[in-house]
Structure 1
């Protein structure tokens, strides 16, 4: 398999960001194991994977499903990708802020499947296989920032229907000066208005339920 040679290619090339592969963090979520355990399974050859030029593991979803079928037969593929739940990807590099989001989502008790990522680059490793209904992201992050990630997302046709909420301490003028956001993205200023976010996520849950049924 040919590996992409740049960040831009990595998140748009079908051989890298297709539904057939995911990163280690998302694989751990699907398997219900720690990242270290998944890495160990890969090293033992129990799960199929390969490394990109940047050293990131790409794990075959087919291999994950085969491992589940062998070791946890009570889990089906539908269990790892529940169609009736809203898929949410949260990208935030600050651990305390991620925990704040996590507590809020737990308190709301909505039918939402949340995945938490500490960097834009890590998120981009998995976003095509996850196909989130909603992306919530910060902008100022080390390495690849949120604005660059969003521009790349809009070039990926697999993510055309994904809703976007950006939460940032930057003023709208500063965001525009750095390249701006996709027209359909919602920009929330910090401190976070959780009442608005709760209402927005609830509306998406309702729309998602009607669409999928």
Structure 2
């Protein structure tokens, strides 16, 4: 009589978001640690990271109460989910700020009123989510979006475009907007929340 072999135990894993919460780090910092092999993980067929809880436990034990280090650099434990809005209209800055506060009360929202300042802030903050208006003073919004999408530094940042342009008016910018979630400014209150939820979900 043949004996049925038991299935091997499934490793205990968690999402990137849960790992970030346990470690007190930004989601993007955890993603980078996975990419560098500092945390053991793999990706599901859908492209979502699954991190071994044992590797998180080991890191916490090594830390011993000190800040987690990523690539030899101490990572502040107080950093919340970080968003950067690049938008020149004060009205829409305020409106988006209210939506973000309602949907992501623990998040930190930074605002830049033009593309140049936005680029500088993006480089300093390395935000988890970038919200960008495609029509910005002093810079080609499409070029800015293309640059951010192609730069390795922002590979883990999620991008959302906010615009007053309708679908036909956005046609010249199709090359920059391909695959990027776009929300029309007249629909911010209803359309932005699900995009924020998707952008901040497990990566």
Give the TM-score normalised by the residue count of structure 1: 0.54
Residue of structure 1 in register with 2:145 after alignment: 150
- In 1: Cα distance, 2:187 partner to 2:124 partner: 28
Shift of residue 202 of structure 1? Answer: 2.7
Give the TM-score normalised by the residue count of structure 2: 0.56
Note if contact 2:87-2:114 (Cα within 8 Å) is conserved in structure 1: yes
Residue of structure 2 in register with 1:78 after alignment: 76
- In 2: Cα distance, 1:185 partner to 1:171 partner: 15
Note if contact 2:149-2:155 (Cα within 8 Å) is conserved in structure 1: yes
Shift of residue 193 of structure 1? Answer: 3.3
Note if contact 2:96-2:188 (Cα within 8 Å) is conserved in structure 1: no
CA 179–104 in structure 1, closer or farther in 2 if over 3 Å, else same:
closer
- In 2: Cα distance, 1:135 partner to 1:192 partner: 18
Please provide the CA RMSD for this pair.
2.3
1:185 counterpart SS class: coil
In the TM superposition, structure 1's runs of 4+ consecutive aligned residues that sit over 3 Å from their partners are 203-206
Does 1:202 pair with 2:197? yes
- In 2: Cα distance, 1:109 partner to 1:156 partner: 26
Where in structure 1 are there 5+ consecutive unaligned residues? 1-75
- Which residue of 187, 191, 194 maps to 1:192? 187
- In 2: Cα distance, 1:136 partner to 1:163 partner: 9
Residue of structure 1 in register with 2:132 after alignment: 137
- In 1: Cα distance, 2:100 partner to 2:170 partner: 27
What is the number of equivalent residue pairs in this alignment?
130
Does 1:124 pair with 2:119? yes
Shift of residue 166 of structure 1? Answer: 0.9
- Which residue of 156, 168, 171 maps to 2:163? 168
CA 182–97 in structure 1, closer or farther in 2 if over 3 Å, else same:
closer
**Over residues 117-175 of structure 1, what are the superposed CA-to-partner deviations in whole Å (9 max), with x where a residue is unaligned?**
10111011121221111111111121103212111112311111221111111122322
Note if contact 2:160-2:195 (Cα within 8 Å) is conserved in structure 1: no
Note if contact 1:111-1:205 (Cα within 8 Å) is conserved in structure 2: no
